[in-house]
Amino acid sequence: MHCGQLPLTLLVLMFISTSETCTLRPHITAVEGEPFYLKYCLSSSEHENEPTTIKWYKSNESHGLVELSSSSSPRITLHDYVLEFWPVELDDSGYYFFQMGNDTHEWRLNVIRRNKHSCFAEKQVISITVEVKRALQIPCGEHSYYKKLVNRTLLYKNCEKIEKNKNPSFRKNAELNDRGYYTCIFFLYHNGKLFNVTNTFNITIVGGYSNIIPVLLGPKLNHIGVELGKDVQLNCSALLNEKDLIYWNIQKENGENPNVHEEKEIRIKTSEGKWHASKTLRIENINEINLNFLYNCTVASEGDIDTKSFILLKKAELDDIPDHVFTRGIIIAILISGAVVCLMIVVVTYRVDLALFCRHFMRRDETLTDGKTYDAFVSYLKECHPENGEEHAFAVEILPRVLEKHFGYKLCIYERDVVPGRAVVDEIHSLIEQSRRLIIVLSKSYMSNEVRYELESGLHEALVERKIKIILIEFTPISDLTFLPQSLKLLKSHRVLKWKADKSLSYNSRFWKNLVYLMPAKTAKPWRDESEVLPMLSQS
C-alpha cells in the first residue's frame, strides 16, 4: 500500500509542476499590466534535440494571422517554447499559435482589466477546498515560472496584508475562519523594471467529515430555585454534529401543563466544523405541578445519546430568612453604633454634669475618711495692689462665697484662716497638708516670693506624695507660662480652668460646674447665711 502510493504521489507532483510551468489550458485569462507567458508543453515523443523550426503566430479579427518576432513588440520576448509578455496589455487578447514542425498548438488569451478596488481579479482565482483540521497551505513560497526573477513576495488575505516575518508561505491547520481569498504578489525585475504577478486562491474550508460524540454542556443535574407565579428559562446547549438532534422530553407534560414551552433551536457553526446548538424551555407562571419534576433535555446522534435534567425547587423561605436577618442585622448594627456614638458625644460634652449628677445621686463623699480639715487651700497673690485688685477679690470673696456658701465646701484662705503669730512656713505647709485640693489663682503677677513656698509645698504634696490635687484657675489669660515651675505644666488641661468674668458669674455656669467637678465629692449641705462665720470660729 505504502510502496504503491509513493510513485503515484511523485507522478501527481510532476504533473502539477509541469502543468504549472507550461500552458495546457486552451482558454487563458491574464490581467493587464502583469508579466505573462505562454509555454508549449512538449509531449514525450518530442525531443528538444530534434532540429525543428519554431514559430509563433497571433491572430485577431482585423489582422488575421501574424507571425510574432521579438521585433513585433518591445513587450514580447520569444524563447523557443515560450512567449513572454512584459507586461501583457489589453490589446494582446486574441488567438496564439505555436508551430513546431508539423505540430501546432492554439490558445485563446483574454486580457482583463485590472480591478481598481481589489488586489486580485475574480476571474483569476484558483479555488481550493480544505477540510477542517487538515493542512492549509498557500503556495506563495516560490513562483513556478519566474522563480529566480522574484525579488520579494507578499501575501494578502482578502486584500489585507498578512504580516509574516520573512517567509510568506503560509501553512497551518485549517479552521473555518481561514476561508477567504489569499493573494500572493510576486515582485520581479526585468530589464531594470519592477513588475508584479498575482496568484489568488479562493480557499473554502469544509467541516470535518468524522462525527463527534454529541455532548450536553454543563452539569447533568441542575437545581433551579424558583418562585411560584414567576417564569423561568431552562437553557440546554450541546456540541453536536450537523445531523444530531437536541430536544426537551416534554411530550407527556405539554398536555397537562400548557405553561411549558419549548423555544426554537439556535445553531452556530464552530470553527471545528461542528455545531453549537441550544434550546430553551420556558416555563411561565410556575405552579406546584412544575416543582420537583425532572425536565430532561436530550441530544442524540445515530449512536449516542446524552441527557441532562433540571429540577425546579421552591426558593425555601428558610433560604430567604438569612438574607432578611442579615439586612436587618446590619441596620440594627448601624443604629446601635450610631446610638453609641451619639451617647459618647453626649457623655463627653456633659461628662461634668453627669459626674456631678452621679455624685449627688450616689451621695458620694470623699471627705469623710481622710481626716483633712479643708477641701481646698487657695493660693493667690497676696499683695493687694490696685492693678490686681480683681484677682484678690476673686480669691478672697468670690471663691469662698460660691464654693462655701453655695456648694458647702470649706476653703483655707491665708488671709482669713492663718492664725497670726505662728511660723508662716510651717503653718502653710500644715494647712496644705490639711487640704484636699490646692486652688491656684493664676495671673501674670502671681509668681512672687510669697507664693513660691505655697506653690512648692503644694507641688510636692501633689506630685511626690500624691496627697493633694491641684486646680489651676487662669484668672487673666496667660499666653506665656514660662514663669511657672516646669512641674506645674504637667497638669492635665482639664485641671486648668479659665475664669471669664462675664460668663462665669452664675452658679450654673460651666466654670463653677467644672470647678465643683474638680473639687472632692461632698454631701455637705450648703452653709446657711447665719453660719457664715462658722469657719472663722471653728478655726480659732
Nearest to 176 by CA among 139, 203, 194: 203
Contact 327, 321 (CB under 8 A): no
Using CB under 6 A, pick the residue from 296, 301, 434, 509 that binds ligand NAG.
296
Q: What is the spatial distance between Cα 54 and Cα 48, in angstroms, rounded to a whole number?
A: 11
Contact 193, 154 (CB under 8 A): no
Task: Indicate the residue among 60 and 110 with the shorter CB distance to ligand NAG.
Answer: 60
Q: Interface mask (CB under 6 A) for ligand NAG, residues 11-40, using x and -?
A: ----------------------x-------
Active-site choice (34, 84, 404, 454): 454
Q: Does 152 bind ligand NAG (CB under 6 A)?
A: yes
From the list 57-65, 254-262, 382-390, 483-491, the region that binds ligand NAG by CB under 6 A is: 57-65
* Site residues (CB under 6 A) for ligand NAG, limited to 357-376: none
Burial of 238: CB neighbours in 10 Å, binned 0-12, 13-18, 19+: buried
Using CB under 6 A, pick the residue from 58, 143, 274, 437 that binds ligand NAG.
58
Task: Indicate the residue among 102 and 538 with the shorter CB distance to ligand NAG.
Answer: 102
Burial of 414: CB neighbours in 10 Å, binned 0-12, 13-18, 19+: buried
Nearest to 236 by CA among 250, 253, 256, 225: 250
Quote the DSSP letter at residue 494. G
Using CB under 6 A, pick the residue from 21, 29, 115, 309 that binds ligand NAG.
309
Q: Does 189 bind ligand NAG (CB under 6 A)?
A: yes
* Site residues (CB under 6 A) for ligand NAG, limited to 450-509: none
Using CB under 6 A, pick the residue from 196, 259, 270, 434 that binds ligand NAG.
196
Using CB under 6 A, pick the residue from 24, 228, 289, 294 that binds ligand NAG.
294
Our CA angle for 78, 72, 53, nearest 5°, is 45
Q: What is the spatial distance between Cα 54 and Cα 537, in angstroms, rounded to a whole number?
A: 160
Q: How far is CA 288 from CA 227, 252, 309, 314, in A?
A: 10, 17, 18, 9
Q: What is the spatial distance between Cα 323 and Cα 328, in angstroms, rounded to a whole number?
A: 8
Task: Indicate the residue among 107 and 499 with the shorter CB distance to ligand NAG.
Answer: 107
Beta bridge partners of 442: 474
* Cα 271 from chain centroid (whole Å): 31
User: Residue 353 is placed in which grid cell?
Assistant: 454634669
Q: Does 523 bind ligand NAG (CB under 6 A)?
A: no
Closest distance of CB 94 from ligand NAG, Å: 6
Closest distance of CB 233 from ligand NAG, Å: 4
Q: What is the spatial distance between Cα 165 and Cα 163, in angstroms, rounded to a whole number?
A: 7
Q: Does 99 bind ligand NAG (CB under 6 A)?
A: no
Whether 454 is catalytic: yes
Mapped onto helix, strand or coil, the DSSP state of residue 376 is: strand
Closest distance of CB 328 from ligand NAG, Å: 29
Q: Does 125 bind ligand NAG (CB under 6 A)?
A: yes
> Residues 499, 500, 501, 507: is their CA dihedral positive or negative?
negative
Beta bridge partners of 311: 223, 294
Task: Indicate the residue among 58 and 469 with the shorter CB distance to ligand NAG.
Answer: 58
Using CB under 6 A, pick the residue from 21, 115, 169, 249 that binds ligand NAG.
249
> Residues 299, 301, 263, 266: is their CA dihedral positive or negative?
positive
Task: Indicate the residue among 212 and 232 with the shorter CB distance to ligand NAG.
Answer: 232
Task: Indicate the residue among 294 and 534 with the shorter CB distance to ligand NAG.
Answer: 294
Burial of 49: CB neighbours in 10 Å, binned 0-12, 13-18, 19+: exposed
From the list 60-68, 104-112, 357-365, 514-522, the region that binds ligand NAG by CB under 6 A is: 60-68
Closest distance of CB 183 from ligand NAG, Å: 9
Q: Does 151 bind ligand NAG (CB under 6 A)?
A: yes
Q: What is the spatial distance between Cα 539 and Cα 271, in angstroms, rounded to a whole number?
A: 112
Q: What is the spatial distance between Cα 246 and Cα 235, in angstroms, rounded to a whole number?
A: 12
Closest distance of CB 267 from ligand NAG, Å: 15
Closest distance of CB 161 from ligand NAG, Å: 9
Q: Does 127 bind ligand NAG (CB under 6 A)?
A: yes
* Site residues (CB under 6 A) for ligand NAG, limited to 328-357: none
* Site residues (CB under 6 A) for ligand NAG, limited to 442-461: none
Contact 268, 221 (CB under 8 A): no
Using CB under 6 A, pick the residue from 29, 211, 270, 307 that binds ligand NAG.
307
Q: What is the spatial distance between Cα 8 and Cα 14, in angstroms, rounded to a whole number?
A: 10
Q: Does 53 bind ligand NAG (CB under 6 A)?
A: no
From the list 59-67, 404-412, 419-427, 493-501, the region that binds ligand NAG by CB under 6 A is: 59-67
* Site residues (CB under 6 A) for ligand NAG, limited to 159-188: 185
- The residues assigned a catalytic role are 454
Where does this chain bind ligand NAG (CB under 6 A)? 33, 58, 60-63, 66, 91, 94, 101-102, 122, 125, 127, 151-152, 185, 189, 196, 202, 204, 224, 233-235, 249, 294, 296, 307, 309
